[in-house]
Structure 1
Amino acid sequence: MPELPEMETYREFLNHNILHKPITNVEINREKSINTGVQTFIETVKGANITFVKRRAKHLIFELSSGQFLLLHLMLGGLMFLGTSKNSPARTKQIILSFGELQLNFIGLRLGYLHLLNQNELDEKLSELGPEPFEMQRDEFLEKLERKKGALKPLLVDQSFIAGIGNCYSDEICYQARLHPLRKASELSDVEKNRLYESIKPVLSRAVQFGGYIDFPMYEGDKQTGRYNENTYVYEREGEKCPRCGWTIGRVEHSSHKSFYCPKCQK
């Protein structure tokens, strides 16, 4: 599932390529991917411009010139591709927004969605999300952490605790902080709590620089998106050598979560 770095990569790219261009056509191939009737959605979106693309947690928010918003969550398996009908991937597109010949394809939205919302509806939809990692101050993080007792992995992926982190980057953050992903938050020393906080932004920043880990191109010739997949330290690297100490990377499962970690570095 795309996490903060993937959605930030998409956001930056889209802001450079689709802003202030009239939406000339809207194609809906799966009605369950939207939250209104097909005709209402098309009539509202067609002819509008996207004035800005924001990110909130794992969502993208397309601001429309009409004053309304399109809220995107790709969920598991969702992807986007910007191109033309000539280079469009041979994949099922649930929604296509056209800007003249340019097309923004939403692929794999069987669990994901693109909802048309007004400001109040958007605020309500996002109201339960926790703070953004890049905006969260140390004191706020430590205060929230103080109230938690459970394991770090499920805590870091809890969107009400901190927004935008999922399975991949929670593992990478725990590795950076030298903490076992199943350590209890209540058992951390002050030094360890601070080390955890200090690991979040560098891990996410590095991932953004590498274009995230979802290695499906955003456009034809895209060599940036998904490069973090080749640069993870522990995620999906079970059996490989730890880049820090040379020990064998392991995997542990807890509830519905699997975590990759170094047994030597992350006690």
Structure 2
Amino acid sequence: MPELPEMENYRRLLNQKIAGQMITEVEINRDKSVNVDPNHFIRAVANQRVVTVDRRGKHLLFHLDNKQVLLLHLMLGGWMYFGTEEDKPERTIQVRLSFGQYHLYFIGLRLGYLHLHNEQTVQKELADLGPEPLEPSFTVQEFLNLLGERRSKIKTKLLDQEFIAGIGNCYSDEICYHAGIKTKRSIEDIGEPERIQLYHSMRHVLLNALKLGGYMDNPLFQGDNLTGGYTNRCLVYDREGDKCNRCGGTIIKEMISSRKTFFCSNCQK
């Protein structure tokens, strides 16, 4: 599932491609991918300009010039492609937004969605999300205050979108690995020095993944050499049985709260 680095990468690239551009046509091939009657969706979106694309957690927000907002969550298996009919992927397209001869294709939206909101209702939808971990205002002291005396496992809490927005299964493992902390440790057993290290590891891992374009499998457009650059850079995630690059130990896969988790059996304490 795309997480903060992937969605922020999408946001930056899409603003370069479609900000200020008019949506000339809308095609909906799967009614369940939208939250209103498809005809209503099309009437509200067609012939509107995309003012800007924002991000909140794992969501993208397409702000239109009629004050409507398209709220995107790709969920598991969702991705996007921007291009022409000639170079589009040979995949089922759930929704298509056209910008003249170029189109933004939403692919794999079986669990994901593209919902229509106004400025007020979209804020209600996102009201429960926690702070953005890369915002300058989210300081180490804010992080320590958030952890407080919580008692859940650290991985479970990092996955909680009401705690911190944007971190998912992959980066929770990578963050804990960078910090040298096992994902299944309980928060109450982690002292302040390790909590501070966890904060710095969170920022380091997310910024590095963003710089490399995240771990998406598919480029956003033809000639996109950035998206997916982190795919083969994961140090523990999805590397069960491999040797740890730091200590030579074996990377283990376990389940925590029905979520697979990867860690080094030797150097994560």
TM, length-normalised to structure 2: 0.97
Which amino acid counterpart does residue 152 of structure 1 have in structure 2? Answer: I
SS in 2 for 1:153: helix
> What does 1:234-253 correspond to in 2, within 5 Å?
234-253=236-255
* Whole-angstrom CA distance in 1 between matches of 2:94 and 2:208: 31
> What does 1:17-36 correspond to in 2, within 5 Å?
17-36=17-36
Which amino acid counterpart does residue 139 of structure 1 have in structure 2? Answer: Q
1:55 aligns with 55
Matched pairs, number: 267
Which amino acid counterpart does residue 92 of structure 1 have in structure 2? Answer: T
| 2:186 pairs with 1:217 | no
1:172 aligns with 174
Which amino acid counterpart does residue 29 of structure 1 have in structure 2? Answer: N
* Whole-angstrom CA distance in 1 between matches of 2:139 and 2:12: 24
* Whole-angstrom CA distance in 1 between matches of 2:17 and 2:2: 20
Of the structure 1 ranges 124-133 and 145-154, higher mean CA displacement relative to structure 2 is found in 145-154
| 2:258 pairs with 1:256 | yes
Gaps of 5+ in 2: none
Q: Contact 2:69 / 2:118 at 8 angstroms: preserved in 1?
A: yes
2:96 aligns with 96
Shift of 1:221: 2.8
1:133 aligns with 133
SS in 2 for 1:227: coil
Of the structure 1 ranges 22-31 and 214-223, higher mean CA displacement relative to structure 2 is found in 214-223
Q: Contact 2:156 / 2:257 at 8 angstroms: preserved in 1?
A: no
SS in 2 for 1:11: helix
Which amino acid counterpart does residue 263 of structure 2 have in structure 1? Answer: Y
| 2:19 pairs with 1:45 | no
Of the structure 1 ranges 215-224 and 94-103, higher mean CA displacement relative to structure 2 is found in 215-224
Gaps of 5+ in 1: none
* Whole-angstrom CA distance in 1 between matches of 2:100 and 2:52: 18
* Whole-angstrom CA distance in 2 between matches of 1:147 and 1:186: 6
| 2:231 pairs with 1:229 | yes
* Whole-angstrom CA distance in 2 between matches of 1:64 and 1:35: 17
Structure 1 vs Structure 2 CA RMSD = 0.9
Shift of 1:147: 3.1
Q: Deviations over 1:148-189 (max 9, x none)?
A: 111111110000000000000000000011000001001111
| 2:152 pairs with 1:146 | no
* Whole-angstrom CA distance in 1 between matches of 2:36 and 2:178: 43
| 2:268 pairs with 1:266 | yes
Shift of 1:230: 0.8
Of the structure 1 ranges 235-244 and 164-173, higher mean CA displacement relative to structure 2 is found in 235-244
1:9 aligns with 9
SS in 2 for 1:198: helix
* Whole-angstrom CA distance in 2 between matches of 1:51 and 1:147: 42
* Whole-angstrom CA distance in 2 between matches of 1:241 and 1:17: 41
Q: Deviations over 1:54-99 (max 9, x none)?
A: 0100000001011111000001111100000010111011100000
Which amino acid counterpart does residue 85 of structure 2 have in structure 1? Answer: S
* Whole-angstrom CA distance in 1 between matches of 2:59 and 2:257: 25
1:202 aligns with 204
Shift of 1:4: 0.3
